[in-house]
Structure 1
Amino acid sequence: MSITRSTTILDPSPAPIEEPWPEGSGLEIVGSSAEMRRLRLQVRRIGPHFRTVLVHGEAGTGKEQVARALHGMSHAADGPFVVCHGAALEEAIAGHLKENDWSSHPADAIGCLARMAQRGTLFLDGIHEMPLQTQLRLLRLLQRHDSTQNHIEASRPNLHDMRPNLRMIAASSENLKILSSAGRFQPELYQRFAMVEITLPPLRDRREDIPDLTKFFISQLAPLYERKVLAVSDEALERMLSYSWPGNVSELKGVVRSSISQVEGDRLESHHLPMLAQENPPTSASDATAKSAKLQDVIEQHVLRVLKGCGGNKVRAAETLGISRSTLYRMLDASVSTILQ
């Protein structure tokens, strides 16, 4: 596939040269931006040695993918990678205990999770949503691990009294430091995870990665829909580059999935992206015109509000706005005189 447009962003502090990333491994961290190159280097450095890591970023920025990459780079790569969401932890473990007929064991949810992820990695997504009591049990588990990590029992560990040989990765879209200061998160638990912290940038701050991500998702998804998409038009890419992506990489993947299902030829066009049309016009020229029009609308509305607040007195309104009366008159004559009549 060929992307017909590229974007270059100059960075005053260039990222270091990196070794080739293992393609086809499922551990891909896609993007050629300085942020992504630094992230891949960070994962390479942390992966073999970490015990606890905190991955922070907005929803949809790829926290689980980074966690899987860390696991894949670790010495526990052949072990299990267990995923659990903080808010649903107790319910998920209750179901697991019942399914495996362990209901008679006095194991709590955290201890059971440690058992499941033994010699692997436990990924706690949305840890900020974990109940405080569960956070405390997790903290105690980490404390036990610290005190016994060099004396792990050779026999099969007891479910209730776990001495785990595992790695933990916590992910959050909230600022845990602020939550801990507000009493909504265990401070010591935050400190343990924050010793090694990875922060993921939102997609809007690394737009130059959108072509690479689009190409990657097309290569993943097109075969599922029996499509052979070979290119993305300039207009489609312009629309994608100008969109704000509040849902970040996850939203981009969803848009690519939806658009691929509509493609009949071998080219993804702007009309395959109706979900982006409302926020972004299809061309750069119209985009600039639209942005200018929106700015003019904001100015007009502000002038009208001030004028109304001054009881229609143009002299007072001009003073409030910090402009001359002649400037105010020109603005009213050019833009909003018909509204005031």
Structure 2
Amino acid sequence: MRSFLQKTLAPRVGQVLVAANADEADELTRRHRIDLVVLDIAMPGRDGITWLKSLRAEGHGCEAVLITAFADLDTAIEALRAGASDFILKPFRVTQILNALRQGLERAELRRQNFVLRRSLSQRTPAAGGLVGQSLAIRGLQAAIQRVAGVDSTVLLTGESGTGKELAALALHRHSPRAAGPFVPVNCATLSAELIESELFGHAWRSSDGTRQLHDGLFVYAQGGTLFLDEVGELPMALQATLLRALEERRIRPVGSEQEVPVDVRIIAATHRPLAREVEAGRFRPDLYYRLQVVEINLPPLRKHKEDIPALVEHFINTLAPQLGLPPIEVSPDELAFLAQYDWPGNVRELRNLIERSLILGALNVSALYQGLARAEARTPAPPAPVAPLTTDLQTLEKNHILAVLASVGGDKTRAAQSLGISRRTLERRVAEWGG
């Protein structure tokens, strides 16, 4: 029976391991991560149901299909209570066992997809789509991603906050051979030092009835896919050593467990910190830094490719308006020219937030940018004479923008002031200056 099942299943699944009894099966579960077990009830030594109960008590949540030639209703009920996901009577047809395995693996995959989806929704994982823009900087970034995506090497993404490192990681995943697997992101800066180890590697505990429970970590949920470690520079030093070991040995040990679990994931890490300086300062392990820096890709800040702003504005309007259930807004050439004069310290994320806020308010809302430019001008020495017309141009843009917002709300100064993010008194003073 074992030989028959091995020959039947080997061409259809990734790997088939066989055991003649419960002791051999115990050894396999210690050395391998098992997705599904086909288990006979009548075995020498411990029977199948007894072994399955012990497997569940140790925290293994793999799917289990039980087969037997001698069964009654009580046996079937006991098997289901022990954690069996399916129950097949001998003799059976090949299609029966294949259907049982397919359904079991689909259930396991569905649980993993649900977990990844919940994390994606809670962490606002970027939607499908490529890196937007046709500037020289973005074309170079796209070419680098295409070259690196096809190999399984670890990638370190660097760049300022808001430059789109998670979007670049997602593009690497979707152009890789692992695209059919999950993309699991985790922001290392948002988890406490007490939680991040169990979040990454899982943890085991004893329940009230004395049985052992095992909670899978993100490494397990990312099996066959990509694990994206955002802000990896925020990891505590103690956890950096554990992560290094996991990367080198491709095995993890859940917190509180004695069992190691093999993992098959690609690691993409990202940081806004210069990790080389963090190594010099003793805040980041040099061996982990060199392990992550197999391939390093730097993402340019938005101020270095402002020619992509019109394309980014159009992209954000087209994607965010349907999500928010709001009509798109019109952005004039003068307004686009004004956006190009701002240096965008928050990079693409700041531009995205501006467009989202503007869609909610019904018009491009640049009051915060005026304040940012004013602060920048206050910190900058007086410009030479050729640059002087810029201030007048900004004043004209400000006037046109305020008057356009007033017109869009039918002259209601209270609503216009709210949309512009200024007080009604300030709005009235500006309009009075223009003779309005």
The TM-score, its normalising length taken from structure 2, stands at 0.51
Structure 1 segments (4+ residues) deviating >6 Å: 95-98
Q: Secondary structure at the match of 1:252?
A: helix
Report the alpha carbon displacement of residue 174 of structure 1 after superposing the two structures with TM.
0.5
Superposition map of 1:184-199 within 5 A: 184-199=283-298
Code of the aligned partner of 2:236: P
5+ residue gaps in structure 2? 1-125, 207-211, 252-256, 375-386, 395-436
Alignment of 1:143-292 (within 5 A): 143-145=248-250, 160-229=259-328, 231-263=330-362, 268-269=363-364, 272-280=365-373, 288-289=390-391
Q: Which has the higher contact order (CA 8 A, sep 6+)?
A: 1
- 1:102-121 alignment runs, 5 A limit: 102-104=204-206, 112-121=217-226
Helix, strand or coil at the partner of 1:245? coil
Within 5 Å, give how 1:41-190 maps onto structure 2.
41-87=143-189, 88=191, 90-91=194-195, 94=198, 102-104=204-206, 112-145=217-250, 160-190=259-289
Deviations 1:130-186 (A, max 9, x none): 0011110010111213xx9xxxxxxxxx99413221100110000111111221101
How far off its partner does 1:112 sit? Answer: 2.9
Q: How far does the alpha carbon of each residue in 1:94-130 deviate from its partner, in whole angstroms, 9 at most, with x for none?
A: 47999xx9434798x9x93321211111110110000
1:232/1:169 CA distance change after superposition, 3 Å: same
Opposite residue 35 of structure 1, the aligned amino acid is A
Instruction: Give the aligned partner of residue 31 of structure 1.
Output: 133
Is the 8 Å Cα contact of residues 199 and 218 (structure 2) preserved in structure 1?
A: no
CA RMSD in angstroms comes to 3.1
In structure 1, give the amino acid aligned to 2:369.
L
Taking structure 1 as reference, are residues 193 and 106 closer, same or farther at Cα in structure 2, changes over 3 Å only?
A: farther
Query: Per-residue CA shift, 1:7-40, capped at 9, x if unaligned?
Result: xxxxxxxxxxxxxxxxx98131011101111111
Question: Contact (CA 8 Å) 1:33, 1:208: kept in 2 or not?
Answer: yes
Q: Structure 1 vs Structure 2: percent identity of aligned residues?
A: 37
Query: How much has 1:63 moved relative to structure 2?
Result: 0.5
Q: Distance in 1 between matches of 2:150 and 2:205?
A: 35
Q: Report the count of equivalent residues.
A: 245
Residue identity opposite 2:310 in structure 1: P
Quote the Cα distance in structure 2 between the aligned partners of 1:244 and 1:159. 53
Name the CA shift for 1:97/1:195 in 2 (closer, same or farther; >3 Å). closer
Structure 1's unaligned 5+ residue stretches are 1-23, 149-157, 293-341
SS of corresponding position for 1:232: coil
Greater Rg over alpha carbons, structure: 2
Amino acid at match of 1:91: L
Deviations 1:283-317 (A, max 9, x none): xx98623799xxxxxxxxxxxxxxxxxxxxxxxxx
